[in-house]
Chains A and B, each alone.
Chain A
Amino acid sequence: MFDALIEGLFLVLQWKAFGLMMVGMGLGFVVGLLPGIGGAATLALMLPFIFKMSPVEAFAFLLGMHSVAATTGDITSILFGVPGEGLSAATVVDGHPMAKRGEAGRALGAALMSSLVGALIGAVTLALSIPIVRPLVLTFGSPELFMLSVVGIACITSLSGLGARGQIRGFAMGLLGLLLSTIGQERQSGSLRFDMGMMYLWDGLDLVPVLVGIFAIPEIVDLAVRGTAIAGDRQPENLQAGVMEGIKDTFRHFWLVFRCSAVGVFVGIMPGAGGGVAQWMAYAHAVQSAKDVQDRERFGKGDIRGVLGPGAANNSKEGGDLIPTIAFGVPGSGAMAILLGAFMIMGLLPGPEMLTKHLAVTYSMVWTLVIANVITVVLSLAVLNQLAKVTYIRGGLIIPFVLLLVFVGSYTANGQIADLIVTFFFGLLGYFMVLLGWPRPPLVLGFVLGRLIETYLFISVSRYGFAWLTHPIVVVLILLTAFVIAYPFIQEYRERSRRPVHA
């Protein structure tokens, strides 16, 4: 096994494989910055180019591109509040307020360094878990996966507000997200739901216009209303110092970064959950590890831990994602499903062969994840100073370009003008939600998970009736959900009882 590990490294370092990885990384960098053109879509676009490559070269090219897109997506999330990737939406919540406060450099430094640590943890987990992962994945059937998704939504909703009313609004938004996910053709029976006679809605609402609209447009409106630069009227920060501070933050909160990386790996392993879910669950975990109510209230207003958690999970889930893809041919996400196509093109069969006969190729993937992430972070740190200066440019000069990015990005999702209208509608919805204190993250997570939850629920009920509720892992996850929901109340109660009573 050790020989295969070393052989995998040398395979990636061969000039052709390395060169192709660099080309892939260049593409991934641009794709990550642009909203709408997701990493998965670019993987699909690049598949035809791998026919003449060897397996190692092809995976160096594709994985190099994919892992970089996840990292650079965080840059636009922080600077403009526009999720560069569907996966980077959680970074907006705390990263962009930091940029508004004049701490863009620090947020970017933290996002990049936590991404690197996350990627390394994901790669190491992938390397170590290859022989032992099979039993873990096989214990999770549809009922367990359904409950896992419910835990994810409960985590986010429980953070959405303080007190009972905050919880009500959080859960209502989670339910609205789930309801929006039911628009379009129902997968079991094929019947159309809520299509309002429009063919555009047959496939359901696309994630990109919804996400970009709901997150980016309220930020643009805020920028226009304030009439200042993104960072306000502050003097430019010492960027180099800010970036270094962000890097140091990663190690100050290393235990949190480590735990969020573990969340990312775990969600990555679970088939179908996808990177966006990993980020939100890691974000929820970061918020829940706050010491008390006051500490928790800092999140959403530019807390560095809210950047570190999602940053780490976003990249660690790449390693986790690859585990079921390589070991069983069960892709963990849309991007991995496309990568599975690459396996077929290369004539490789995921499963035991990848762990025996082609072990060196498997380890070359691990090395690609490591090397691509290290190079990306080093290169990004070199250009961060220039990137962060954007936050000091007058808002009036930035807005038309961000709007261009938002609408062209949304349009590229399906190539239909209706995407622009959906983006606008969700922008308006997002604006009123922020204005009136209704949280957006639960809506987004409900929307992302909706289709999966419905499928898992349907399979669970069809296969087990209501007996699935008694599966041991399901019971544990139900208890965990109850705890997650009750936790803010417990925290508030403890806080109140600790506070001295005044007359």
Chain B
Amino acid sequence: MRRGRILFSLFLIAVAAYAVYSAWGWTFKARLFPLSVSIPLIVLAATQLLLDLFGKAETANGPSVELEFGADVAPDVARRRASGIFAWIVGFILIVLLLGFPLAVPLFIFFFLKLQSRVSWWQSATLTAGAWGFFYGLFQWLLHLPFEDGWIQSWLGM
């Protein structure tokens, strides 16, 4: 956790430093606000970094007004499951890129239910049909929202 916090502070310092570096050459109007925000951000992130590196362990138990992840699962299992769900999300974005939303939605729902949630074929197919019906009925039929074609359709000239 400590290493994670150090890395996060370093990430913030890098983002703010990039902002200062980029804004330096802009006109006064354009750079006034980004500079007045990013310089204090560097100071605060650096202070946090120093506290994490050399300070005493924190007495207060984290943020008071925030979500806290459940602690019932072993850390390595939690890490594996979190990586798994992020992989599914990346996969979904990739099939949207390749095939477009109208095809990606039923594919993603079906394979998620079948492979990840281990639901029966029949239930997976029914739920997928329901989700696709909702998607098509609301977004395409009722709201006429334009969805971009996937790369594959564009390559094939469909």
Contacts and interface: CB of A to CB of B under 8 A. Distances in A.
Our verdict on whether A and B bind, yes or no, reads yes
Interface stretch (A155-163, A248-256, A259-267, A316-324): A155-163
B141 interface: no
Contacts of A217: 89
Interface residues of B, number: 76
Give the dominant DSSP class at A's interface.
helix
Q: From B19, B119, B131, name the one whose CB has the most chain A CB atoms within 10 angstroms.
A: B19
A403 B92 contact: yes
Interface string B123-142: 00001000100010011000
A97 interface: yes
B156 interface: no
Contact of A163 (B59, B85, B101): B59
B108 to A, nearest CB: 7
Given A182-B34, A193-B34, A408-B135, A440 B66 contact: yes
B41 A176 contact: yes
Contacts of B147: 411, 415
A47 interface: no
Nearest to B123: A397
A432 B4 contact: yes
A106 interface: no
A175 B44 CA distance: 10
A218 B67 contact: yes
B66 A401 contact: no
Interface string A202-235: 0000000000000001111110111100000000
Interface stretch (A118-126, A268-276, A423-431): A423-431
Given A163-B58, A172-B45, A420 B96 contact: yes
B6 to A, nearest CB: 10
Given A96-B67, A415-B146, 18 more contacts: A160-B66, A169-B48, A176-B16, A179-B41, A186-B30, A219-B67, A220-B85, A224-B85, A300-B63, A399-B85, A400-B112, A400-B131, A408-B139, A417-B93, A424-B93, A427-B89, A436-B8, A461-B32
Interface of A: 30, 34, 37, 45, 81, 93, 96-97, 159-163, 165-166, 168-172, 175-176, 178-179, 182, 186, 188-189, 191, 193-194, 217-222, 224-227, 287, 296-297, 299-301, 306, 394, 396-397, 399-401, 403-404, 407-408, 411-412, 415-417, 420-421, 424, 427-428, 431-441, 453-454, 457-458, 461
17 contacts: A93-B67, A163-B58, A168-B48, A172-B45, A193-B26, A224-B81, A225-B77, A225-B78, A225-B82, A306-B65, A400-B109, A403-B89, A403-B112, A404-B135, A408-B105, A415-B145, A437-B62
